[in-house]
Amino acid sequence: MKAVFLGTPHAAVPALTALSQTATVEVVVTRPDRPRGRSGRPQPSAVKVAAESMGLHVAQPETSAGLEDVWDTVGGFDVALVVAFGMLISPSALARAPNRFVNLHFSILPRWRGAAPVQRALLAGDERTGVTLMRMDEGLDTGPSLVTVSTAIAPTDDAESLTARLARIGAVMVGTSLGSIGGLVAVPQDPDRATTAPKIRTDERWVDLAGTPASVLAAVRGLAPWPGAWVRHPTGGVRIIEAEDAGSQMPSGDLQLGADGLQLGLGAGAVRLVRVQPEGKRPMGGVDWARGLRGDLGRMT
């Protein structure tokens, strides 16, 4: 079986590895190198690094038009697997290989169509999520489902750990399903059950202190590791890395340091700030941060 792979982040690498073990990968398509880190130097994507280590040919088109040029160099292929590629596949590209483009999506479609399904599932407090292998059409994650595997969301899961687990599940699906893709039954999605998962915006990092412990803990988990769940303090922004339901009631925004640790009041209830990261500083225990304020705890907003 001849295959093309399209993907970019770390979460796509397990699927690429599985595909390389079940098919001849003609080309790996990933996003162009981008500046990262303090140096600002262009860095390759995780998929590019993995593909080159496997000796696979890599293409990095800048635009959808450039992506179509890739097909001219590849020739025929049996399947094109897309995993978190980060660029829309144009209708004309899909038309070149009808029914051969499939997408590995980290949700149980039609719930959480879009760029941030894992984060949105956690922010919404979902109890389960999963991975769907779907046949691509011109819509955004609207194509018929071929295979779906669900998994429970653990109380300890955050966006990073849950994405890693879904990536592993997806890799198994690739290894067991793509070889018989022609025999898989395509099941249309129910549009009435669809929800959207738009990309996380930087401004969503600010925690709503009028909320509940459940909503704050969902933000801490769903926004980890980026952009993080932040609150405003007179000394600057403070990222909440780890928190737990304090089982108490305090005025929203109030801070209280006692035998039970550092508590933050909410609109309904309070959370214990177990681990925080003040802006420009290293992560530290919530109690250690509060003691460094020398008695003037101030208020969060």
pLDDT computed for residue 166 by the predictor: 98
CA-closest candidate to residue 101, choices 87, 116, 113, 115:
87
Largest CA distance in the chain: 70
Q: Note the pLDDT tens digit of each residue in 84-96.
A: 999 989 888 898 8
CA-closest candidate to residue 29, choices 56, 49, 58:
58
The predicted model gives 255-261 an average pLDDT of: 95
- Asked if residue 101 lies in contact with residue 94, where contact means CB atoms within 8 angstroms, the answer is yes
The predicted model gives 195-219 an average pLDDT of: 97
- CA distances from residue 191 to 148, 198, 276 in whole angstroms, order as listed: 17, 17, 41
pLDDT computed for residue 100 by the predictor: 92
pLDDT computed for residue 188 by the predictor: 98
The predicted model gives 238-248 an average pLDDT of: 97
CA distance 257 to 259: 7
- CA distances from residue 225 to 26, 157, 228, 266 in whole angstroms, order as listed: 34, 12, 6, 23
pLDDT at 38 over 80: no
Q: Tokens 């979460």 correspond to what residue?
A: 11
pLDDT computed for residue 93 by the predictor: 86
Q: What band does 180 get if pLDDT is binned at 50, 70 and 90?
A: confident
CA-closest candidate to residue 77, choices 102, 58, 44, 52:
102
pLDDT computed for residue 272 by the predictor: 98
Query: 3-class DSSP state for residue 86?
Result: coil
Q: Which residues pair with 3 in a beta bridge?
A: 25, 79
Q: How far apart are the first and last CA of the chain?
A: 57
Which carries the bigger pLDDT value, residue 40 or residue 160? 160
Say how many C-beta atoms besides its own lie within 10 A of residue 260's C-beta: 12
Up-side HSE of residue 13: CA atoms within 13 Å toward CB? 16
Average pLDDT across the chain, whole number: 95
Phi then psi for residue 215, to 5 deg, are: -70, -35
Query: 3-class DSSP state for residue 240?
Result: strand
pLDDT computed for residue 92 by the predictor: 87
Q: Note the pLDDT tens digit of each residue in 39-69.
A: 788 999 999 999 999 999 999 999 888 888 8
**What proportion of the chain, given as a percentage, has pLDDT over 90?**
85
Q: Note the pLDDT tens digit of each residue in 108-148.
A: 999 999 999 999 999 999 999 999 999 999 999 999 999 99
pLDDT computed for residue 136 by the predictor: 96
Q: What band does 33 get if pLDDT is binned at 50, 70 and 90?
A: very high
pLDDT computed for residue 9 by the predictor: 97
Question: Which residues lie below 8 Å from residue 172, measured CB to CB, with a gap of 6+?
Answer: 18, 149
CA distance 147 to 139: 19
- What is the layout of strands, in order, in the sheet containing 101-105? 58-59, 24-29, 2-7, 79-83, 101-105, 128-135, 145-152
Q: What is the DSSP letter of 67?
A: H
E-state strands within 111-248 = 128-135, 145-152, 229-233, 236-245
Q: What band does 72 get if pLDDT is binned at 50, 70 and 90?
A: confident
pLDDT at 258 over 90: yes
- Asked if residue 113 lies in contact with residue 164, where contact means CB atoms within 8 angstroms, the answer is no
What is the residue type of 133? L
pLDDT computed for residue 202 by the predictor: 95
Q: Tokens 């998929």 correspond to what residue?
A: 47
Q: What band does 105 get if pLDDT is binned at 50, 70 and 90?
A: very high
Q: Tokens 């040919």 correspond to what residue?
A: 57
pLDDT at 162 over 90: yes
pLDDT at 198 over 90: yes
**What proportion of the chain, given as a percentage, has pLDDT over 70?**
100
